[in-house]
Amino acid sequence: MTTLEPPKVRLRLDPWPGDYQPAIQFDAQPEPAVHIDSAVETSAWGPLPPPAAGPDRDLCFVDGVRRVEARLLADSPPGLVHGLCGSIGVGCARASGGRLAFERIEISRFLILGSGLERELRIQAGDLGLDFRKVSAAGNSPSEVLAALQNLMRAQEASLAERLASPAACLLVDGPLTYLSPVVREIVGIVKTLYQPYLAAADFALLPALPPGCRTPLFLIQGGGNDRYSWFLRLAGPGPADHPLAGLIRLEVAAAAGLETAKRHFSR
């Protein structure tokens, strides 16, 4: 009797450090049903090279970071309530005239408690007083109070981006544009973690072959109350052991900005 050997499996690495979430998480975050129109810019689906340099504009990047200072359990009449003391920092890096500088660094602290419970907290550390503003989460689990901290960070990133938005600058914000107001501003969302392929298989097949610096044509994502133009961009080629989608990011801009504006100002 002949014993068949199992087929060989090729393993590929995700180049993000191990303490990051994987860069590819298809189906990890279901979102409302959307309609994709991949022919809004061109029906000839293929890689588009970097365009010629346009007018000089400041380049701004808004990002944030959150930190759990301490996990808490509150003893209240309904029973034990999960909570945390958390800190959030948001800021902007601006490239202008060949110089790069940080600006608008904003720090805030929160005491987040589950089950709708609210309390303020002040901690005295020597001559320094740390004030934690009260925030309540509807649920009562460690993951739900952590999600509340994450939502606060995203909201503060969006607030800073909206205050900095200007026709004189190309402003990029980390993450999708979900938390931004519907008012049209010149803001581009950078999505580093790919939760959805969005494109049909035939169009998605272009992504592994994208050369560095090239992008896909724009496609329109409609639905979920958040219509936007989007495209994939190859920042760098994958290393010898990396998976073929390494080095790709997805960018998006509000559809209300208009297709020509998206092509002219953002997708370069």
- Using DSSP's 3-state secondary structure scheme, residue 207 falls into helix
pLDDT at 50: 82
Measured distance CA(227)–CA(163) in Å, rounded: 22
* pLDDT tens sequence across 181-234: 766 677 899 998 888 889 999 999 999 999 999 999 999 999 877 899 999 999
CB 153 within 8 A of CB 66: yes
pLDDT at 76: 74
Q: What is the mean pLDDT of residues 72-98?
A: 88
Tell which wins on pLDDT, 125 or 247: 247
Residue entry with tokens 């995203």: 154
Tokens of 139: 């649920």
Residue entry with tokens 């400041």: 58
- Using DSSP's 3-state secondary structure scheme, residue 123 falls into strand
Of 61-65, 85-89, 222-226, which gets the smallest average pLDDT? 222-226
pLDDT at 182: 66
CA torsion, ordered 161, 216, 9, 193, to nearest 10 deg: 10
pLDDT at 34: 84
Residue entry with tokens 């904003």: 106
CB 94 within 8 A of CB 101: yes
Distance of alpha carbon 56 from the chain centroid: 26
Q: What is the mean pLDDT of residues 59-85?
A: 87
Q: 185-189: which pairs have CB atoms within 8 A and are 24 or more residues apart?
A: 185/161, 185/254, 186/257, 186/265, 186/266, 187/161, 187/162, 187/253, 187/254, 188/251, 188/252, 188/253, 188/266, 189/228, 189/251, 189/252, 189/253
Residue type, 45: W
pLDDT at 133: 95
Angle at 67 between CA 95 and CA 224, to 5 degrees: 75
pLDDT at 145: 92
Band the pLDDT of 11: cuts 50, 70, 90: very low
Whether residue 17 is predicted with pLDDT greater than 70 in this model: the reply is: no
The edge-to-edge listing of strands for the beta sheet with 248-254 is: 35-37, 219-222, 228-234, 248-254, 187-191, 169-174, 58-76, 79-96, 99-113, 128-136, 121-125
Tell which wins on pLDDT, 6 or 249: 249
Tell which wins on pLDDT, 102 or 268: 102
pLDDT at 79: 77
Domain ranges of the chain: 18-57+168-268, 61-166
Whether residue 12 is predicted with pLDDT greater than 60 in this model: the reply is: no
CB 89 within 8 A of CB 106: yes
Q: What is the mean pLDDT of residues 125-139?
A: 91
Tokens of 14: 């995700």
Q: What is the mean pLDDT of residues 235-262?
A: 90
Tokens of 13: 């690495």
- Other CB atoms within 10 Å distance of the CB of residue 164: 19
pLDDT at 184: 64
Measured distance CA(175)–CA(165) in Å, rounded: 16
Mean pLDDT of the chain: 85
Tokens of 247: 């080095």
Whether residue 95 is predicted with pLDDT greater than 80 in this model: the reply is: yes
Whether residue 10 is predicted with pLDDT greater than 60 in this model: the reply is: no
Measured distance CA(213)–CA(228) in Å, rounded: 22
Band the pLDDT of 9: cuts 50, 70, 90: very low
Distance of alpha carbon 68 from the chain centroid: 20
Q: What is the mean pLDDT of residues 32-45?
A: 89
